[in-house]
Chain A
Amino acid sequence: MSRPTGARHADPSHADPSHAGTGTGTGTGTGQAGDSQAGGGRGGPTRATAGLRGTGYFFAFCLDALRGLFRRPFQVREFVQQAWFISSVSILPAALVAIPFGAVIALQLGSLVRQLGAQSFTGAASVLGVVREASPIVTALIIAGAGGSAICADLGARKIREELDAMEVLGIDPVHRLVAPRIVAAALVAALLNGLVSVVGVAGGYFFNVVMQGGTPGAYLASFQALGQLSDLAVGEVKAVLFGAVAALVASYHGMTAKGGPKGVGDAVNQSVVLTFMLLFALNFVITAVYFQLVPQRGM
């Protein structure tokens, strides 16, 4: 069956080199001209749709990944390994970033509050700033910068080494096997990281306020409850979980679509970190705005 088809295929090709030779010789010239003209006419929309298409692919990937989260069996081993890995690259930088963050808030507020004669509320402002805003932002920075870039580089390297293709051919869905556990791991680590950053940040603020600026320890601690409330902590944790998941999704998507060798992986990591930062800061704003609308704030 195959042989006659093969032989028949040979026939047109026999005439092809001579004919197609002239055809393409002139053809490529006109073809390119035609293409560039068409490109001028349709270039705008094509480029615009190309951008939209990228977004579309990303959302399709997110849906696949979310579906992968609920598919049995959940990859516990991969999850534990990833959670361990992400926390090992993010805990120390998170703590080190949190100390100056808390300190800066304490320093800024310290002089201002003294002029107003409200030193006893430094603690309240510090807690509010750290728990509500600084801590999710620091978590976002670290998760995107340390965790996300590591995830993206790892998956990107696997992609260009054809490991992901090999996995698919072996009948295993990389989204279910690799991406889903990474999302859960990043979300969990982000939530824990948020708690760590809050504690370290408040402690840093305490240290600067009490030791450097001569504030009263008792007043600092006592005013914790003045402005902040438990729902602040809750919304901070919600933010952190979302940030972790989004960072893992963006990083995985860019890693799995990396192409063009080692340079492609570098580009993918770069893009994923930049995009994650933008997305997380936007998301942070939206959640904060919604939170202020939904939850009544405590006055003094």
Chain B
Amino acid sequence: MGVEVRVEGLTKSFGGQPVWSDVSLTLPAGEISVLLGPSGTGKSVFLKTLVGLLKPDRGAIWIEGQDLPRLSERALYEVRKLFGVLFQDGALFGSMNIYDNVAFPLREHTRKSESEVRAVVHEKLEMVGLLGAERKLPGEISGGMRKRAGLARALVLDPRIILFDEPDSGLDPVRTAYLNQLIIDLNQQTGATFLIVTHDINTARTVPDNIGLIYHGHLAMFGPREMLLSSTEPVVRQFLNAQRIGPIGMAEEKDSDELRAEAEAGVELPPLPPIPLQLAPSDGRPRAAEQPPGRWCEEHGVTPPAGSFRGVQGSVWQPTEALR
């Protein structure tokens, strides 16, 4: 099962320049969360801080009652066994082939025999569709395969928190769709807590249960997917709908003059696009953390944009029996 990660007042700066400050959020156990933000807002830094690779200036990260930044080195290595991390380029060990890469954590941390190791590695490689490529070196396979191999390695110790650093960067749309489906299926099968750092809006709109947006050195908003997708908050709205109109400019943020000019010109924000359905697991059984579409909007008296929650064929989604 997943583990809750509670972040309180986290602040990080490099050489006096704050990256982000006072970030507080809770990754609910077993749910998929996405962290969004324009390029260069320190999303990857946040991810590395979560696993203790970087030390925050202030703030706490609570995992199973332990405050991660204040743990001793030895305790930190123990807590890290809860984590599986998929790095941007897979971060495979270049000197080992795919099989040895995936087997590495097992050989280092468990007393499994080679045949047991082979069984686990086989299972994980099958999960990510890499059977047959075991003997290849990381340099000999494509970026998408490296990512999937990195994912297999991250999964091999059955982590309870899985972090993805831009799983969709550098992948074509089809591969991205497959990977997103894989993420949903993994969440269904393992029930682990997922955090995906990305700036792919399609991923952010269809995959997660929760969305967070980092902008201008702080967490602009964090909450259920439907809350952010129906939000009229300018930054959230601009980013989630990939528009030019709004506070985010080509440089980090627009000048106040430019914003005022924009307001005076009476630029109308285009209407919010409909909220898409969340990706469902491929075998049709619901995930433990799944919420029926529209529930948050209903509970909070928010009218979702017209045309929301329609399936591909245009039919309104019917909640399954299990979720009712």
User: Interface on A for B, CB 8 Å cutoff?
Assistant: 1-3, 5-7, 9-10, 13-14, 16-18, 20-22, 24-25, 157-158, 161-163, 165-173
Contact = CB atoms under 8 A, between A and B. Distances in A.
Given A166-B87, A170-B104, A171-B81, A17 B234 contact: yes
Interface range on chain B (Cβ under 8 Å from partner)? 35 or more
Contacts of A17: 216, 234-235, 247, 253, 259
B256 interface: yes
Interface stretch (B126-134, B219-227, B309-317): B219-227
A3 B28 CA distance: 10
Please provide the 8 A-B residue pairs with the shortest distance between their CB atoms, ordered closest to farther.
A2-B26, A6-B223, A17-B247, A166-B91, A6-B222, A21-B256, A162-B91, A10-B221
24 contacts: A2-B25, A5-B24, A5-B26, A6-B222, A9-B25, A9-B221, A10-B220, A10-B231, A13-B218, A13-B219, A13-B233, A16-B216, A17-B216, A20-B253, A25-B256, A163-B93, A163-B94, A165-B53, A166-B85, A166-B153, A167-B93, A168-B80, A169-B83, A172-B77
Of listed A163, A165, A169, A173, residue having the most chain B CB within 10 A = A169
B92 interface: yes
Contact of B233 (A10, A166, A171): A10
Nearest to A164: B91
Interface string B190-234: 000000000000000000001010011011111110010001011
B51 interface: yes
B53 A168 contact: yes
Contacts of B26: 1-2, 5
Interface string B233-246: 11110000000000
B281 interface: no
Given A171-B77, A171-B108, 15 more contacts: A5-B26, A6-B212, A6-B227, A10-B223, A13-B220, A157-B94, A158-B94, A161-B94, A162-B87, A163-B91, A169-B83, A170-B80, A170-B153, A171-B81, A171-B105
B89 A162 contact: yes
A170 to B, nearest CB: 5
Contacts of A170: 80, 104-105, 108-109, 153, 157
Contacts of B88: 162
Contacts of B85: 165-166, 169
A21 B235 CA distance: 12
B57 interface: no
A173 B109 CA distance: 12
A22 B83 CA distance: 41
A109 to B, nearest CB: 47
B235 A13 contact: yes
A166 B53 CA distance: 10
Contacts of B114: none
Nearest to B163: A169
Interface in B62-96: 73, 77-78, 80-81, 83, 85, 87-89, 91-94
Contact of B257 (A9, A10, A25): A25
Contacts of B48: 165
Nearest to B48: A165
Contact of A21 (B220, B227, B247): B247
A163 B93 CA distance: 6
Contacts of B28: 2
Contacts of B247: 17, 21
Nearest to B215: A13
B223 A163 contact: no
Contact of A169 (B53, B93, B257): B53
